[in-house]
Amino acid sequence: MMNGSWSLVNKVALVTGASRGLGRAMALALGEAGAKVAITDLLVEGRAYDPDRLGEYGRLGSHFAGNDGIKTLATADEIIAPGAPSCAMKMDVAEPEEIHRVVLAITKTLGPIDILINNAAVMDNLGPLEEQTHERWERDLKVNLSGAFHCIKAVWPGMVKRGGGRIINISSVAGLMGAWLQPAYGSAKAGLLGLTKSLAIEGGRHNITVNAVCPGFIATEAVKLLDQNLLERIRKRTALGRLGTVEEVAQVVLFLASDAAAYITGAAIPVTGGSDLFIF
Residues with a known catalytic role: 185
C-alpha to C-alpha distances, 89 to 47, 92, 194, nearest whole angstrom: 11, 10, 29
SS3 state of residue 213: strand
Residue 41 pairs in a beta bridge with: 90
Neighbouring-strand partners of residue 36: 12
Closest CA to 75 of 43, 118, 103: 43
Beta bridge partners of 86: 37
Closest CA to 172 of 152, 188, 150: 188
Torsion (CA) 66, 67, 70, 74 in degrees, nearest 10: 140
Q: Count CB atoms within 10 A of the CB of residue 156.
A: 20
| CB-based contact 245:271 (threshold 8 Å) | no
Largest CA distance in the chain: 53
Edge-to-edge strand list for the sheet holding 165-170: 86-90, 36-41, 12-15, 115-118, 165-170, 208-215, 268-271
DSSP secondary structure letter of residue 88:
E
